[in-house]
Chain A
Amino acid sequence: MQASGVFEPGVIEEIQRKAETGIYQIRGYGTLRERRWATFDDLTFLPCSLTRVPLEGYREKCSTRTVLGARYASRPVELEIPVMITGMSWGALSYNAKAALARGARAAGSSNTTGDGGMLMAERENSSTLIYEVLPSRYGVNVHHMRMADAIELTVGQGAKPGTGGLLLGSKVSEVIARQRDLPVGVDQRSPARHPDFLGPDDMIIKIEELREATDWRVPIFVKLGATRVYDDVKLAAKAGADVVVVDGMEGGTGASPAILQEHTGIPTLAAVCEARRALEDMGLYGEVQLIIAGGIRDGADAAKAMALGADAIYIGTAALIGLNCNRALYLEDYRALGAEPGCCHHCHTGRCPVGITTQDPELMARLDIDPGAERVANLLRAMTLEIQMLARACGKSDVHHLEPEDLAALSMEAAAVCGIPLAGARRAHEQRAAAGA
């Protein structure tokens, strides 16, 4: 017996599911594809030996202080660490999850971000630095909340589903979430993809100025992009006046989205950071406009490599939820009721999260205690920061932001081509070799 290499068992199952239901598959979490593209795992650091002197790995100072948005804002964001919590909505996440993320980020000297659906007051109260997201849906937009924020993030797209609006299925549009978003209870909320009051980058210049006027030019304006035509988009965002550009790669997570978008749109985070850096360098704005990279960042190694390639800071989302016990082997019967198992659950869209993170059900939510959750988030952020520092010191850097492409070698031809850094064992970057006809 041999299964088809084209119509594999999973493909057959999905075709038959579509034939029964008449709708595309919806799920959460992000791409499930086996990653056959170049990733951060295709890079390795080249620590010091004789050509460079390392810093003592456990002792010498290695700064992690991160400043974002000094281009036009009078009060830039200043963080103790370069790892931040990305925007995830109250609605996609439970109250307890949002509060725990905020409190954990504050404890670690980092920031968190509101998400689609406006600001949860508990989030503000538990944050030291809160980034207020302005999305196409404009759910819950409130100028007073905006003015309480430490930065504004104007979201054009997200990595898991660039070019598409948010999605919150009816099971999660509870009374309180419906009220917050001005929606009927229980509707499948499909958010618009375009902002209601601007279309292209020329209009966005004026929009950014409006946001500055609304916040007295105090706080930085971030522009968040789903990673597609990154080089051009980053240039347009920077030209439009962004203080900070956020690029979210295709490995980015989501609470709910058509699976086909998660699997077949956008470019990988590794490629995105390289394109974004080139765009800012070509404009002469690298260093003046900060770059935040998001999308499937798992640990300090991913983060440090992204920073070496050009990122000033890193957003984590899914990793932070995993830190809160997402996919942990608890409440096994509830995973199985969803048709899932710990370690391979991506049922955030159902609202039946066994560990109380992506749910609006009070009983499930109660499974996530805010204080222990916050401590786990803080521990994760701190551990990732220590990992970044470890790699930076080994490369002789007294500041994690001093990591640079020269600290890396590629382990695959694809990574060498994408990043423009030498394949391990080669002395020149792929681009230079190609130009030399080698």
Chain B
Amino acid sequence: MAAIDCAGRPAREINARIRELLAREEQIVVRNPAGRHNLGVALLEPGRVRFEGSVGYYCAGLSDGATVEVTGSAGWGLAESMLSGEVVVRGNAGNSAGAAMRGGRVIVHGDAAARAGVSIKGGLLLIGGDCGYMTGFMGQKGAIIVCGDAGEGFADSMYETVCYVGGTVRDPGNDTVVEDLAPGDLEFLETTLARHLPQAARRPARDFKKVVSGRKLWNFDRRDWRVWQEAL
């Protein structure tokens, strides 16, 4: 397994080295990331990269195909606009984790801050803990699973993203509907949680609530004026 030490190196040099190694190595360890921004951006090879420590903004942003692990926490925009691959954060994630992602999986074992999964267009965002306000805002496709509690304005103004919350949804966003779990939802939750979270961190699938769009904001109708007037 190849290793890179970030100490004394700028992100540009570290990324160049990661890409160079990914072209010939299956696994890379990146040590001492020390919260640097833009690490692992635009990884387009299918290898595995493990950041030992915490990373800053946009880690694994604009990636396609790589498997990335962050042993610490991640800053804003984790895996934003990712097309495919998997990004796992063992700690917490800052704002906008999985923003505008189009595919792949983003797994945050801890909490995720505001606007997680904002404008998500595909793939899976799984948050082991709680999420901040406006998580799922304008979600278009894909799935968001929050094992803990959801922050204010959860799932506001969505299109076709399907959200599941294991804890409380104290303040659902505008134009949201809570639906009963169908057998397919239960199976999806059980499989996904078992695959990505340790046994001790899992809730039973039946505890989850399913939140989808009420579709009132999809096309204007003056009878729904209140929904539009209150839209975030």
A positions within 8 Å CB-CB of B: 21-23, 137-139, 141-144, 146-147, 170, 181-184, 186-188, 190, 192, 196-198, 203, 206-207, 209-210, 213-215, 217
Are A144 and B219 touching (Cβ within 8 A)? no
Are B96 and A209 touching (Cβ within 8 A)? no
Report the number of A-B residue pairs with Cβ-Cβ less than 8 Å.
Answer: 107
Are A143 and B15 touching (Cβ within 8 A)? no
Q: How many residues of B contact A (CB 8 A)?
A: 42
Are A182 and B61 touching (Cβ within 8 A)? no
Known interface pairs A143-B81, A197-B100; A137-B12 also in contact (CB < 8 Å):
no
Are A209 and B81 touching (Cβ within 8 A)? no
Q: Say which residue of A139, A143, A187, A209 sits within 8 Å of B219 (CB atoms).
A: A187
Are A213 and B96 touching (Cβ within 8 A)? no
Seed contacts A210-B37, A213-B42; 10 additional CB < 8 Å A-B pairs: A141-B100, A144-B44, A186-B219, A190-B217, A192-B119, A192-B138, A197-B118, A207-B58, A210-B38, A214-B41
Q: Does B209 contact A (CB under 8 A)?
A: no
Are B100 and A196 touching (Cβ within 8 A)? yes
Instruction: Give Cα A184–Cα B121 distance, bound, in whole angstroms.
Output: 11
Instruction: Give Cα A186–Cα B115 distance, bound, in whole angstroms.
Output: 26
Instruction: Give Cα A22–Cα B44 distance, bound, in whole angstroms.
Output: 49
Q: Does B176 contact A (CB under 8 A)?
A: no
Q: Say which residue of A141, A188, A197 sits within 8 Å of B76 (CB atoms).
A: A197
Are B44 and A143 touching (Cβ within 8 A)? yes
Are B222 and A170 touching (Cβ within 8 A)? no
Closest beta carbon of chain A to B230's beta carbon, Å: 15
Are B218 and A197 touching (Cβ within 8 A)? no
Q: Does B92 contact A (CB under 8 A)?
A: no
Are A206 and B44 touching (Cβ within 8 A)? no
Are B121 and A182 touching (Cβ within 8 A)? yes
Are A209 and B222 touching (Cβ within 8 A)? no
Are B76 and A203 touching (Cβ within 8 A)? yes
Closest beta carbon of chain A to B212's beta carbon, Å: 12
Q: Using an 8 Å CB-CB cutoff, how does the interface string of B5-33 with A read, 1 for contact, 0 for none?
A: 00000011001000000000000000000
Q: Please, which residues of chain A bring their CB within 8 A of the CB of B83?
A: 142-143
Q: Please, which residues of chain B bring their CB within 8 A of the CB of A206?
A: 37-38, 56-58
Q: Please, which residues of chain B bring their CB within 8 A of the CB of A147?
A: 42
Q: Say which residue of B56, B218, B222 sits within 8 Å of A21 (CB atoms).
A: B222
Closest beta carbon of chain B to A99's beta carbon, Å: 24
Instruction: Give Cα A186–Cα B160 distance, bound, in whole angstroms.
Output: 13
Q: Please, which residues of chain A bring their CB within 8 A of the CB of B42?
A: 143, 147, 213-215
Instruction: Give Cα A328–Cα B77 distance, bound, in whole angstroms.
Output: 46
Q: Does B64 contact A (CB under 8 A)?
A: yes
Q: Please, which residues of chain A bring their CB within 8 A of the CB of B64?
A: 143-144
Closest beta carbon of chain A to B229's beta carbon, Å: 11
Closest beta carbon of chain A to B57's beta carbon, Å: 5
Interface centre among B64, B119, B138, B219 (most CB of A within 10 A): B119
Instruction: Give Cα A192–Cα B134 distance, bound, in whole angstroms.
Output: 13
> 9 A–B contact pairs at CB < 8 A?
A143-B63, A182-B121, A188-B219, A197-B99, A198-B76, A203-B57, A210-B57, A214-B61, A214-B62
Q: Does B73 contact A (CB under 8 A)?
A: no
Known interface pairs A210-B62, A213-B15; A141-B81 also in contact (CB < 8 Å):
yes
Known interface pairs A141-B100, A198-B76; A184-B160 also in contact (CB < 8 Å):
yes
Q: Does B159 contact A (CB under 8 A)?
A: yes
Q: Please, which residues of chain B bring their CB within 8 A of the CB of A210?
A: 37-38, 41, 57-58, 61-62, 77
Instruction: Give Cα A182–Cα B62 distance, bound, in whole angstroms.
Output: 17
Q: Please, which residues of chain B bring their CB within 8 A of the CB of A22?
A: 222, 225
What 8 pairs across the A-B complex have the smallest Cβ distances?
A22-B222, A197-B77, A138-B100, A196-B99, A182-B121, A214-B42, A213-B41, A143-B62
Q: Please, which residues of chain A bring their CB within 8 A of the CB of B122?
A: 182
Q: Please, which residues of chain A bring their CB within 8 A of the CB of B118?
A: 192, 196-197
Q: Please, which residues of chain B bring their CB within 8 A of the CB of A142?
A: 83, 102
Instruction: Give Cα A310–Cα B15 distance, bound, in whole angstroms.
Output: 37
Known interface pairs A182-B141, A197-B99; A187-B218 also in contact (CB < 8 Å):
yes
Are B220 and A196 touching (Cβ within 8 A)? no
Interface centre among B41, B64, B99 (most CB of A within 10 A): B41
Are B80 and A146 touching (Cβ within 8 A)? no
Nearest A residue to B77, CB-CB: A197
Instruction: Give Cα A325–Cα B160 distance, bound, in whole angstroms.
Output: 38
Q: Please, which residues of chain A bring their CB within 8 A of the CB of B138?
A: 192
Q: Does B174 contact A (CB under 8 A)?
A: no
Q: Does B67 contact A (CB under 8 A)?
A: no
Q: Please, which residues of chain A bring their CB within 8 A of the CB of B54?
A: none
Are B58 and A196 touching (Cβ within 8 A)? no
Are B220 and A188 touching (Cβ within 8 A)? yes
B residues 88-105 near A (Cβ < 8 Å) are 95-96, 99-100, 102
Instruction: Give Cα A183–Cα B219 distance, bound, in whole angstroms.
Output: 13
Nearest A residue to B161, CB-CB: A182
Are B12 and A217 touching (Cβ within 8 A)? yes
Q: Please, which residues of chain A bring their CB within 8 A of the CB of B37?
A: 206, 209-210
Q: Say which residue of A138, A188, A192, A217 sits within 8 Å of B218 (CB atoms).
A: A188
